[in-house]
Amino acid sequence: MLPFFDNEAIVNILIVHFLLSIRFLALIMTASVFALPSFPNPARFWLAVMLSVAVVPSLDIEIPMLLLQNWTSVILVSGREFLIGAAIGFISSMPVYAMQFSGFLDSTLMGFNMMSIFDPLSLSQASVLAQMKYLLSVWFYLHWDGHILLLRALSESVTLVPPGLGSWGGADQIPWLEWLGMAFSIAVRISLPIFGSVLLSEVGLGFVARTVPQMNVFILGIPIKIGVGLVVLLTILPSCVDIFHGEIERTVEWALEGIFFWR
């Protein structure tokens, strides 16, 4: 027990606040709706602290003082809490990443990858369509209260895996590869109509090249593929949003299943 505290209950409450703040901070740093570089770091820290203050009064958790006897145990317990929050943030953000990856596939098919823009949010070069779909997915994630659902899932994780308690194991029962495959499948499903339309336009340009050899199909093909892709993108965008909406709750459930690795 810390020498300047005589009451073990006070020490326990402070340690619970500290560990939960680390778990909330890890989620804020990894979840796509909070992980933007434009979000100030002090705001992230204070948000994590306020969330822990709001959650702790409803909990009845006692941290074993044996875990606080040395710095090695404290670092291991803190790292475990950080990994739990990071796992929830990353897995629950899979629909956003899938939407962004589908935009990258669309840009590749339409030829937009030859140019890129500087993204002030991620401070890196990004494809135009990938950035558009990323911002669109983040907006709809917030519109459908995905951030609230994410914070509720994190609060539920405190009950399922209390801080400082439990053990490591059960990773062989969690379908990590299946979840990653499903995220890739979502991106392919969103980009499949554009892939089909661009393929048909390529076939049509092949017929034109054979029937009218004087026409330069390489120059003509670039604006045609871009135009066809944009028309199809505007047509299927509502369906893409519906697919994205249907995956939000499921990925949050995956995130809660994933924390059983630490239970």
H-assigned helices in 31-144: 41-55, 71-92, 94-110, 128-143
Residue 99 has pLDDT above 80, yes or no: yes
Residue 135 has pLDDT above 70, yes or no: yes
Helices 8-30, 146-160: axis angle to 10 degrees equals: 140
Contact (CB, 8 A) for 130 and 100 = yes
**Average pLDDT score, the chain:** 77
CB atoms within 10 A of CB 180: 12
Q: Which residues of 114-136 are buried (b: 16+ CB within 10 A; e: fewer)?
A: eeeeebeeeeeebbbbbbbbbeb
- Paired tokens of 209: 């090249």
**Which helix H or strand E contains 31, and what residues bound it?**
none
Residue 2 has pLDDT above 60, yes or no: no
Q: Where are the domains positioned within the chain?
A: 8-262
Residue 225 has pLDDT above 80, yes or no: yes
Sign of the four-CA dihedral 126, 131, 135, 141? negative
Q: Which CA distances in Å does 230 have to 98, 227, 233, 234?
A: 19, 5, 5, 6
What residue has token string 């369906």?
239
- Rounded mean pLDDT, 143-163: 79
Please give the distance of CA 150 from its chain centroid, rounded to a whole number.
11
> pLDDT, tens digit, for every residue of 11-29?
677 777 788 888 888 888 8
**Contacts of 16 by beta carbon, 8 Å cutoff, 6+ apart:** 56, 59, 61, 63, 163, 164
Confidence of residue 122 (pLDDT cuts 50, 70, 90): low
Residue 88 has pLDDT above 60, yes or no: yes
Contact (CB, 8 A) for 242 and 137 = no
**pLDDT at 3 (0 to 100):** 44
Read off the DSSP letter of residue 57. Answer: G
**pLDDT at 60 (0 to 100):** 66
Q: Could you give the CA distance from residue 143 to residue 140 in angstroms, rounded to a whole number?
A: 5
**pLDDT at 172 (0 to 100):** 58
- Paired tokens of 242: 């519906």
pTM given for the model: 0.77
DSSP-assigned beta bridge partners for residue 124: 119
Q: Which CA distances in Å does 33 have to 16, 89, 96, 124, 188?
A: 26, 9, 9, 17, 22
Residue 168 has pLDDT above 70, yes or no: no
- Paired tokens of 20: 């939960």
CB atoms within 10 A of CB 234: 9
Q: Could you give the CA distance from residue 157 to residue 26 in angstroms, rounded to a whole number?
A: 13
